[in-house]
Structure 1
Amino acid sequence: MSDFVSVPLRRSLVVGITFFALVMSLGQALAGDSGSSNDNGTITGVVNANAPTINVADIRNTGNTTVTGTQLDVLSNYRFYLDVTESNGWASLRNVYVQLWFDLGTDTTTFATATAANNYRINVTYDNSAAQSSPTAGQWSVKAGNVALGAVVMNEIVASQEYAFQITFQLDAQIHQAQLPSAARNGGYSNAYSWNGQFTARDANGNLVTRQSDATSGDYYEFGVFQHTSVTLGGQNWAAGGVAPGASSQTGTVTVTHTSNANYKLHVYANGNLVSGTNTIAIGNVLALAAADLSDDLSSNTAFPGTGSGNPIYLMGSGATFHAFAPNTNSTATVVQFQINVPLGTPVGTYTATLVMTVQQQAPPTP
């Protein structure tokens, strides 16, 4: 009896175990219905270099007071004042530009479109193309314009990042005259016939930052330039030497150096007739010679029409017109020579007269 019962039990256990194994195996084979898949991508962030910062920019007198909004004198000391930060390290800074230009009566004129002449446009540049980690005075120079640089004083604010500069300069004698700014300057360049200014910094990454107005007041950089003229004789006397009555004699030449920072006339007049004691030779016997200088406006030998300032001979310009302002030079030299015609019967003697050379500048335009 026991043998009969035990056999089926063993079979049922075997069958049960076999069935369980098959079910488990089948379950693994069907697992693809709830599977997964994947792909991948990248996340990217670009870190750009910080642009340089012009913290302070100004034009000041030697007392450290701003002169923007005023008129400047040529041949006088002023200072460009700058405070610049390069947070990427000073070696990343490439240039700082101080750019000034005369607007010729149009406020929309830019440095790029201004007349490219040395008395109309100025560019003072800091050059760090060598990527130095701190500045030196020798890196500042004049790239354009008739302006002379003096001492460059530097102060380190943050080592290798922020520096302040005081750059002494003088405008040369023929920097164009400009009007005193009178209109409000906080909305842009707004004074015709003035000088405008801007300060620009450029780094190695191509960032370009320009400041055209004061960081505190918001006033745009505009200023005027006072009128200026001068005249100097290279020799004080025109000597004709000995000449007989009825003959003529030419004097030596004298180089007249003159400056004007706007259109002008150069003329000469005689205070009186040629005099020797009580004897005279009328000033109408003295002629300015056209051949002395072919670059002046004297086209023919011209006699003095009379004495006094109302009877000049015009060497540059004429009674009705002004000679064009020199756009590039610091001065102009004109060679002047005279001829004396001695009338028959003139007594022997040494005859002299005083000649006055004058530069007369055209009145400034009305804004």
Structure 2
Amino acid sequence: MELEQKKKFFSAIVGMAIITSLVVNIFVVGPIVMIGKADPGDIPHYWHNTTTLNVTVLHFAPRILWYDFQYNQGGTWVSKLNAQIDVNNSAEYRFIVNISSDQGWDDIQFVNITAWYDQGTDSSTYNQTVGGNWNLNLQYENTTGTAAWRMLWPHGGEFTEGTYADIVGFDPYGSIGYTECHNLSFSFVPSYQVRYAPGDGIWNNTYNTTDDAESWNFIMEVTDSGEDAPASSTIWITDEFGVYSYSEIVSAGWPTIIGHPGENATANSNITLLTRSNGNYSLSTDVEDLVHRTFPAATISRELIWVRGGDLDLFDNFTASSGGIYFYGSLGAYHLSRANGTDLTTNDVEYKCNIPLGQMAGDYAAAIRYHLTTT
């Protein structure tokens, strides 16, 4: 037993000696094993090629160098920007625009011209109120290599297409060999009922603006394909012009009434009125007393003559004092302008006469006066 205890004590002493030796060797003398550094030698080159230089070449948008709206005055084109024009189905007008493209003309895809009656506010837009007398849309298309020109709207004869022209021009600010410049012109003839637009009384001649109410506004838009750019680009200019009022009674039928004394005789047939107006309008009729063709002393009072037609559904008779009967509108009030069409046909005008008892037989006649007002 005593021998066993001595062995354990001896083992403990040896273990402590070993631990003490290790500690002293590490912290006082130095580590038992030294890890040395390898000598790498010269490193004269090193390449890193995982990054790139990125350059984006921007696409120049096309430029509108100048534009105009013109009237063909005997072969000479006269500017009508911020001025009124005639609408008589014969006067010729044109939009003309000079466009420059630094990437060549093949980049120009579309030139769209839209014009519209502004309805008294410059915040209005094309086709806001649909109608051939209120809107115009002309287009130049250059997407196939062969240019196409067209009138996209209207199609009811309110405007007649004229001639189109593409003339190569020169841009002094462009780059030789790259920039191409063209003058495009779009001519047309407005018909009789293209909407009246008097302006606000004072035409502002500032270019590229719409600041005169009661006018025709227009926008010229040029769309460039952008070649390999992310998207096409569109530039535009805007301006305005006015339109004179137009009123015309083209034709009126001749009513004929046959009847006996004491009879409320009606005309053999309705007559037709053909009129033209390019604004809000009123249309009235007035007659004189009927006078015997052979014996002028024999008359029939105008108060015995009745008429209806147009918006007047019920017969109305003329009064003793002068004053017309209105088919459309009334005294101081007007029917809204026609959005479409080149004229108005009123084919339901009907006259009748209360022939007094004892009235002399024979033929009587009275002048009829029709009055068309445009405002």
The alignment's TM-score, normalised by the length of structure 1, stands at 0.76
- In structure 2, what is the equivalent of residue 246 of structure 1? 262
Identify the match of residue 337 of structure 1 among 350, 363, 369: 350
| CA-to-aligned-CA distance 1:20-61 (integer Å, 9 cap, x gap) | xxxxxx999523888846241222333344333322211112
Q: Distance in 2 between matches of 1:361 and 1:266?
A: 9
Aligned-residue offset at 1:349? 0.8
1:177 lines up with 2:196 in the alignment: yes
Q: Distance in 2 between matches of 1:80 and 1:325?
A: 25
Q: Distance in 1 between matches of 2:288 and 2:56?
A: 79
Structure 1 301/201 Cα, relative in aligned 2: closer, same or farther at 3 Å?
Answer: same
Q: Distance in 1 between matches of 2:186 and 2:305?
A: 51
**Contact map agreement 2:138 2:186 (CA 8 A) in 1:** no
Comparing 342-351 with 79-88, greater Cα deviation is found at: 79-88
Amino acid at match of 1:225: V
| CA-to-aligned-CA distance 1:244-269 (integer Å, 9 cap, x gap) | 22223322222212122221111000
- In structure 1, what is the equivalent of residue 12 of structure 2? none
Amino acid at match of 1:85: S
Aligned-residue offset at 1:352? 1.3
| CA-to-aligned-CA distance 1:264-291 (integer Å, 9 cap, x gap) | 11100014434332221222222113xx
Matched position secondary structure for 2:193 = coil
Q: How big is the alpha-carbon RMSD for the aligned residues of Structure 1 and Structure 2?
A: 2.9
Pairing of 1:49-128 with structure 2 (within 5 A)? 49-62=59-72, 63-75=76-88, 76-111=91-126, 114-128=128-142
| CA-to-aligned-CA distance 1:289-320 (integer Å, 9 cap, x gap) | 3xxx5xx321311112246xx32111001224
Q: Distance in 2 between matches of 1:93 and 1:32?
A: 61
Q: Distance in 1 between matches of 2:45 and 2:140?
A: 67
Structure 1 197/35 Cα, relative in aligned 2: closer, same or farther at 3 Å?
Answer: closer
Amino acid at match of 1:71: Q
Amino acid at match of 2:210: Y
Q: Distance in 2 between matches of 1:69 and 1:37?
A: 68
- In structure 2, what is the equivalent of residue 5 of structure 1? none
Structure 1 106/345 Cα, relative in aligned 2: closer, same or farther at 3 Å?
Answer: same
**Contact map agreement 2:278 2:337 (CA 8 A) in 1:** yes
1:30 lines up with 2:40 in the alignment: yes
Aligned residues: 315
- In structure 1, what is the equivalent of residue 242 of structure 2? 224
Aligned-residue offset at 1:103? 2.1
1:282 lines up with 2:301 in the alignment: yes
Identify the match of residue 236 of structure 2 among 193, 197, 210: 210
Identify the match of residue 198 of structure 1 among 208, 219, 231: 219
Q: Distance in 1 between matches of 2:320 and 2:275?
A: 24
**Contact map agreement 2:132 2:153 (CA 8 A) in 1:** no
**Contact map agreement 1:108 1:189 (CA 8 A) in 2:** no
Q: Which has the higher strand share?
A: 2
Structure 1 90/140 Cα, relative in aligned 2: closer, same or farther at 3 Å?
Answer: farther
Q: Distance in 2 between matches of 1:331 and 1:300?
A: 24
Q: Distance in 1 between matches of 2:180 and 2:79?
A: 25
- In structure 1, what is the equivalent of residue 173 of structure 2? none
| CA-to-aligned-CA distance 1:335-356 (integer Å, 9 cap, x gap) | 2121122222111211111111
Q: Tell me which structure has the larger Cα radius of gyration.
A: 2
Q: Distance in 1 between matches of 2:304 and 2:153?
A: 51
Q: Distance in 2 between matches of 1:92 and 1:174?
A: 38
Q: Distance in 1 between matches of 2:142 and 2:271?
A: 47
Unaligned runs of 5+ in 2: 1-35, 171-176, 227-231
Matched position secondary structure for 1:91 = helix
Structure 1 56/33 Cα, relative in aligned 2: closer, same or farther at 3 Å?
Answer: closer
- In structure 1, what is the equivalent of residue 151 of structure 2? 141
Pairing of 1:255-334 with structure 2 (within 5 A)? 255-277=272-294, 278=296, 279-289=298-308, 293=309, 296-306=310-320, 310-334=322-346
Amino acid at match of 1:262: G
The alignment's TM-score, normalised by the length of structure 2, stands at 0.74
- In structure 1, what is the equivalent of residue 32 of structure 2? none
Identify the match of residue 51 of structure 2 among 21, 41, 51: 41
Identify the match of residue 162 of structure 1 among 176, 181, 187: 181
**Contact map agreement 1:233 1:254 (CA 8 A) in 2:** no
Q: Distance in 1 between matches of 2:39 and 2:255?
A: 124
Comparing 328-337 with 33-42, greater Cα deviation is found at: 33-42
Amino acid at match of 1:250: T
Aligned-residue offset at 1:178? 1.6
Q: Distance in 2 between matches of 1:227 and 1:124?
A: 24
